[in-house]
Amino acid sequence: MIDIHDLWKAFEGNEVLKGLTLTVKKGETLVILGRSGVGKSVLLKHIIGISHADKGYIEVDGVRVSDLRGEKRYKASLKMGMLFQGAALFDSMNIEDNTAFFLRQHGDIETGEKYSKSEIRDRVDEALRMVDLEGTQKKMPSDLSGGMRKRAGLARLIVYRPEYLLYDEPTTGLDPITAMQINELIVKTQEELKATSIVVTHDIVSSLFVGDRLALHKDGKIAYIDEPDAFLNIDDPIIEFLRKTISEDPRTFRRK
């Protein structure tokens, strides 16, 4: 369970998070919707510990991770993983080395033992098979398309089976069909790893497909949070717009 309490963060006087409070239940997929630039990605970076809040705290499984620094903080984030908007693959390594990176760096998290070469290869192959990227092991990230890169980024995550998965705009910048593939992968990953996921997006189709609960991030806070059906009935200009984009005849959006 992730418990975020009264989180504040300002960048050079510009307040992004203003007392954000949110609880993510174990095993659920929570989607955080919001307009660009409201600080959704910043929230994810706080949860995984890259950014540090000005005020407030974050607890993961009862441990107050926002107070930890240095080695302890890194240790706490071993069970979390994040998919970046641009996938953030290491462009000096091929896909196999990218995918194997965590396993080679940390070995078995529980015992601290190093994995054997064949073990790593098997797990990398399995992860790449899951995201439908078999045979790309020796390719460099620059050889892949945007959608493939995102899938490779996902493979780099699922290979170490984190308990908490954070997705930063997983479908942004992809064509609708590739976006749907990514959505299906998120659901599949969720089912196989039995993980807890937080998806940050502004893609309403994606959020309805993957989300158990939907939240609206607005003015530095979580304005509403509810199950998909109830969420769509909330009376708010942004939600009303989202509702329209999926329910109405698309021709109403044509320029007059």
Partner 1 sequence: MRFLLSKLNFLEATGEFVFLIWNVTVATFKRPPNWALIREQLYNIGVLSLPVVAMTGFSTGLVLAAQSFFQLSDKGLAGATGLMVGKAMITELGPVLTAFMVTGRVGAAMCAELGTMRVTEQVDALETMAVDPNRYLVAPRFISGMVMMPLLTVFSIFMGIFGGYLISVFYFKMPPTTYFDPMPIYITNFDLLIGIVKAFVFGVLIVTISCFKGLKTSGGAEGVGRSTTNSVVVCYTFILFTNFLITLGLNMLQNATGWFS
What element of type H or E holds 250?
A: none
Which one, of 53, 47, 68, 54, lies nearest residue 3 by Cα? 47
Please, are residues 39 and 217 in contact by the beta-carbon 8 Å criterion? yes
Q: Does 90 bind partner 1 (CB under 8 A)?
A: yes
Q: Which is nearer to partner 1, 77 or 94 (CB)?
A: 77
Q: Does 11 bind partner 1 (CB under 8 A)?
A: no
**Pseudo-torsion of CA 65, 66, 70, 73, nearest 10°?**
20
Would you list the DSSP string of 61-101? TTEEGGG--HHHHHHHGGGEEEE-TT----TTS-HHHHHHH
Cα distance between residue 162 and residue 113, in whole Å? 18
Q: Does 10 bind partner 1 (CB under 8 A)?
A: no
Segment lying near partner 1 (by CB under 8 A), choices 56-64, 80-88, 173-181, 218-226: 80-88
Segment lying near partner 1 (by CB under 8 A), choices 43-51, 61-69, 209-217, 226-234: 43-51
Q: Which is nearer to partner 1, 89 or 185 (CB)?
A: 89
Q: Does 106 bind partner 1 (CB under 8 A)?
A: yes
Please report, as residue ranges, which positions from 145 to 174 form the binding site for partner 1 (by CB under 8 A). 160
Q: Which is nearer to partner 1, 78 or 246 (CB)?
A: 78
Cα distance between residue 198 and residue 204, in whole Å? 15
Residue numbers of the site for partner 1 (CB under 8 A)?
45, 48-50, 71, 74-75, 77-78, 80-82, 84-86, 88-91, 101-102, 105-106, 160
